[in-house]
Structure 1
Amino acid sequence: MAEYVKFSVGKELKEKQFELIEKVTKTGKIRIGVNETTKAIERGKAKIIFIAEDVSPQELVMHLPLLCEEKKIPYSFISTKKELGEKAGIAVGTASIALIEEGSAKKEL
């Protein structure tokens, strides 16, 4: 487990996270990538953050959990950048995403 990963996510929760990300991608708004995620957190627009566990170098995302805790924004981890990118609807992996507007997933958040 990477140094910045503070907890592991069980299989059942991981599936619910994937459903949430896919639903928000289709009906809400997300920000993709470390820079966009960081801006969304700092501006107070992020509802929840997802961070890939396999980011290298780790320093790219090490600040995100700390920033989320400071701003009281929930965050979680996804196993790989590839999985996170796929669920966010892009053809490449991404280190992080921020859910900005819930869309039809409002009840699930």
Structure 2
Amino acid sequence: MSVYVTYDVPADLEDDAIEALEVARDTGTVKKGTNETTKAVERGNASLVYIAEDVSPEEIVMHLPELADEKEIPFVFVETQDDVGHAAGLEVGSAAAAIVDAGDADEDVEDITTTVEDLR
């Protein structure tokens, strides 16, 4: 487990989170990549942040959990960058992503947020 991963995410929660990201990508607004995700969190626009667990070097995303906590934005860890990237609509992996407008995934994002808060 990476240094920045602060809690274990059950496989079913990770699957639900990936599914919500895919729905939000198609019906809402999603930010892709560490820089766009960081900006969305800093501006308070993100409703859910995704952080890949296999990022190397770890410093690329190490700031995100702390920043998201500071802005009171929930975040979920996903096993691989490929999972995050593909769910966000990219053909390559992505170290991070954020849902800005959940679109049809609104209820799913709320459920995931509640579950994440319980896990932490």
Equivalent in the alignment of 1:42: 42
Equivalent in the alignment of 2:68: 68
Offset of residue 72 of structure 1: 0.3
Q: Residues of 1 paired with 2:5 and 2:107: CA distance?
A: 27
Q: C-alpha root-mean-square deviation of aligned residues, in Å?
A: 0.7
Q: Residues of 2 paired with 1:30 and 1:78: CA distance?
A: 16
**Cα shift readout 1:79-107 (whole Å, capped 9, x = no counterpart):** 00011111111100000001000101112
**What one-letter code is carried by the residue in structure 2 that aligns with 1:47?**
S
Give the aligned length: 109
Q: How does 1:6-85 map to 2 (within 5 A)?
A: 6-85=6-85
TM-score by length of 1: 0.97
Q: Which aligned runs of 4 or more in structure 1 are off by greater than 4 angstroms?
A: none
Equivalent in the alignment of 1:92: 92
Q: Residues of 2 paired with 1:39 and 1:24: CA distance?
A: 18
Equivalent in the alignment of 2:115: none
Long gaps (5+) in structure 2: 110-120
Answer 1 or 2: which has greater helix percent: 2
Q: Residues of 2 paired with 1:86 and 1:46: CA distance?
A: 19
Equivalent in the alignment of 2:118: none
Q: Residues of 1 paired with 2:96 and 2:36: CA distance?
A: 9
Percent identity between the two aligned chains:
45
Offset of residue 11 of structure 1: 1.4
Offset of residue 3 of structure 1: 0.2
TM-score by length of 2: 0.88
